[in-house]
Amino acid sequence: MSKVKVMDEILANKIAAGEVVERCVSVVKELVENAIDAESTNIKIELIDAGIKEIKVTDNGIGMEKEDAVLAFQRHATSKIYDEDDLFRIDTLGFRGEALPSISSVSKVELITSTGEVGTCIHIEGGHILDVKPAEARRGTSITVKELFYNVPARLKHMKSLYAELANVTDYINKIALSYPNIRFTLYNNGNVLLNTDGSGSLLKTIRFVYGISLAKKMIEVKAENDDYMISGYISLPEIHRSSKNSMVILVNNRVVRNTIINRVINDAYHSYKPDNRYPVVVLNISVDTSLVDVNIHPTKMDVKFSKMEELTSLIQTMIQNKLKEINLIPHIDSNAIFKEEEKKDLIKPRYEEVTLQLEREESTTKIEQTIDEEETPYIVNDKLLPKEEGIDKEIKNQVEENEKEERLPEIYPIGSVHGTYLICQNELGMYMIDQHAAKERVNYEICLEHLTHPTHLKTDLLFPIIIELSNSEFVIMKQNMEILKNMDFDVDEFGINSIIIKSHPVWIPKENEEAAIRKVVELVILEEKNFDLAKFYDHIAATMACKMSIKANDLITIKEMENLIKDLRNCKNPFHCPHGRPTIIFYSKAELEKLFKRSGF
């Protein structure tokens, strides 16, 4: 008797659900993507207990006829692709035909849909269709998923807390709203509004709805293209950064994707503009011919592969670096933020306590603050009285444009210092404070880096050559990468079995610590092997040397020395940050100073 049997459809769907439906956010993602593919302009997501009890997604899309609605719950039934060639030119968010059957196999589902005429209502439990009947319905689709994983207790047992599930759903809806600013998204949990965009088509306005007004004003518009890729979106000023990569939103043809290479390239483009362990807020949409990108890698469709990846990463890095070099990056101190921060927290906390308990403090506040009811009072921008909504958006746009137009580092004049650490300077615009160590570190860093990357090939001969003994595996790697050391101006050769000998070294190696420094370089080359990046290595060396060479806090300097330091800082490629990403200078405008001392109205 044959032991091999074909699974029945319900069992196959439950197995598929293990990949497609991992948690509440997986259900929301699949249903929202179907709504977008159905040409919806208004999508409402309603959750009960973060979606564990109920998820309801309602749209105003094209809807389905009765036959299509029933067929949609069969595995691999789809209207997105028809033949093998379509698989290589996917321009819809969904295409596998696995989502609805997988979801319905582990929950109780009610679907109401209509093309504008007679509607259809379908009830399904555990993958079994219980009822199909006509229904009164407007054009569009409403699908309700109840008791997720009710028939898979092992999966239900390992669901995370309500707060964790809600945080994941909120994060996804935020990102898909940024992908489609022309669609209005509304997200509710237990009747509370967590997100409400306007679908106006403005990405900057959507950033405001997702992250808040203050962050939206700190965004910079970027655009770039080559023969294969076109990139557009917004990046944050370096003073705005987060503790995780989650705020780096990458879109490919409006699809939210994950790509560690692109994330690393973006973060590298901000190198020395911010701390290395912090990440910028970025929303970038990559437009590319569908034949050059493969989204058919994983059932979640979040991972993608690009053709011509090097051209894409080079375009992104150059675009961000050029934009950061063009603009004024001096942080402005906002007195309104100083006075109103506590007031803002008091307003937000009581109403949305369940979310703020879990989401990161700095991010959750900006995401949720937009849901607070506010009176529709007029808003003043440039001395003009505007309706509140229009006024806020006008102010954000003005601030973004101002960020891009300001002179990089204006003429400033030192008048003294505080605690021998911070220089106090002024001009007609206001007051500037400079961290003397960070500023001198930036100046020295660029000098050191210039010498390292454009070497004179000067060497220092060792009176006693240094012999470094390695393990046999390390020696094999070192032999393959000996040219790296020679290109760095080390005089190095093999010496007996599993050993190398260093006879001379470049002049930048610190005196009295030559052997320790050389051993460190050798260890790094062995560790990185083919991934050893000489440019990054020189950058690290330059930053280390600059820190040790610079004046320290509490070192008193004269006014003349202050003027020379400011002059050198103005000549730097990036005068706004030390090599480690800390700010060198901050700015108090004259207006902000008057507010702080209550010499003008708020």
Whether 390 and 472 map to the same domain: the answer is: no
**Mean of pLDDT values over 204-217:** 91
Answer yes or no: is pLDDT of 3 > 80.
no
Q: Which of 11, 194, 28, 196 has its CA nearest to residue 105?
A: 11
Residue 205, in any domain of the structure: no
**Mean of pLDDT values over 517-542:** 80
Could you tell me if 438 and 584 are in contact, meaning their C-beta atoms sit under 8 angstroms apart? Answer: yes
Query: pLDDT of 358-402, one tens digit each?
Result: 334 434 444 444 443 434 445 444 444 455 566 666 667 666 666
Answer yes or no: is pLDDT of 540 > 90.
no
Containing H/E element for 249? strand 248-252
- Non-local CB neighbours of 260 within 8 Å, separated by 6+ positions: none
- Non-local CB neighbours of 126 within 8 Å, separated by 6+ positions: 10, 104, 105, 106, 107, 108, 150, 151
Residues above pLDDT 70, as percent of the chain = 78
Whether 129 and 247 map to the same domain: the answer is: no
- Non-local CB neighbours of 29 within 8 Å, separated by 6+ positions: 172, 176, 300
> What pLDDT is stored for residue 374 in this prediction?
39
Whether 490 and 563 map to the same domain: the answer is: yes
Whether 305 and 360 map to the same domain: the answer is: no
CATH of the domain at 38: 3.30.565.10
Helix ranges (H only) for 406-435 are none
> What pLDDT is stored for residue 522 in this prediction?
86
Partners of residue 504 on adjacent β-strands: 461, 491
Residue 558, in any domain of the structure: yes
Mean pLDDT of the chain: 81
> What pLDDT is stored for residue 376 in this prediction?
45
> What pLDDT is stored for residue 94 in this prediction?
55
Higher model confidence: residue 194 or residue 393? 194
Query: pLDDT of 223-276, one tens digit each?
Result: 999 998 999 999 999 989 998 888 999 998 888 888 888 999 999 999 889 888
Whether 543 and 435 map to the same domain: the answer is: yes
> What pLDDT is stored for residue 77 in this prediction?
59
**Mean of pLDDT values over 28-39:** 90
> What pLDDT is stored for residue 137 in this prediction?
78
Whether 40 and 154 map to the same domain: the answer is: yes
Answer yes or no: is pLDDT of 323 > 70.
yes
Query: Over the range 491-513, which residues count as b (16 or more CB within 10 Å of their CB) and which as e?
Result: bbeeeeebebebeebbebbeeee
> What pLDDT is stored for residue 347 in this prediction?
39
CATH of the domain at 306: 3.30.230.10
- In angstroms, the CA 499 to CA 497 distance is 6
The total number of structural domains that make up the chain: 4
Q: Which of 297, 326, 355 is the last residue of a domain?
A: 326
| Lowest-confidence segment of 116-130, 150-164, 461-475, 587-601 by average pLDDT | 150-164
Residue 229, in any domain of the structure: yes
The pair of structure tokens assigned to 594 is: 């008057």
> What pLDDT is stored for residue 508 in this prediction?
74
Whether 357 and 280 map to the same domain: the answer is: no
Measured CA distances, 58 to 6, 36, 143, 343, 560 (Å):
36, 11, 7, 36, 68
Whether 447 and 377 map to the same domain: the answer is: no
pTM of the model: 0.74
> What pLDDT is stored for residue 424 in this prediction?
95
**Mean of pLDDT values over 557-572:** 93
Higher model confidence: residue 351 or residue 406? 406
Q: Which of 376, 405, 434 is the last residue of a domain?
A: 405
CATH of the domain at 589: 3.30.1540.20
Whether 169 and 39 map to the same domain: the answer is: yes
Residue 4, in any domain of the structure: no
Whether 31 and 71 map to the same domain: the answer is: yes
Residue 2, in any domain of the structure: no
Confidence band of 515 (pLDDT split at 50, 70, 90): confident
> What pLDDT is stored for residue 381 in this prediction?
45
Confidence band of 438 (pLDDT split at 50, 70, 90): very high
Answer yes or no: is pLDDT of 305 > 70.
yes
Residue 192, in any domain of the structure: yes
**Mean of pLDDT values over 434-463:** 88
Q: Which of 326, 356, 391 is the last residue of a domain?
A: 326
> What pLDDT is stored for residue 526 in this prediction?
84
Answer yes or no: is pLDDT of 294 > 80.
no
Higher model confidence: residue 246 or residue 509? 246
Confidence band of 8 (pLDDT split at 50, 70, 90): low
Residue 204, in any domain of the structure: no
Measured CA distances, 124 to 130, 304, 413 (Å):
5, 33, 74
Whether 449 and 576 map to the same domain: the answer is: yes
Whether 380 and 322 map to the same domain: the answer is: no
Structural domain of residue 378, as residue ranges?
A: 335-405
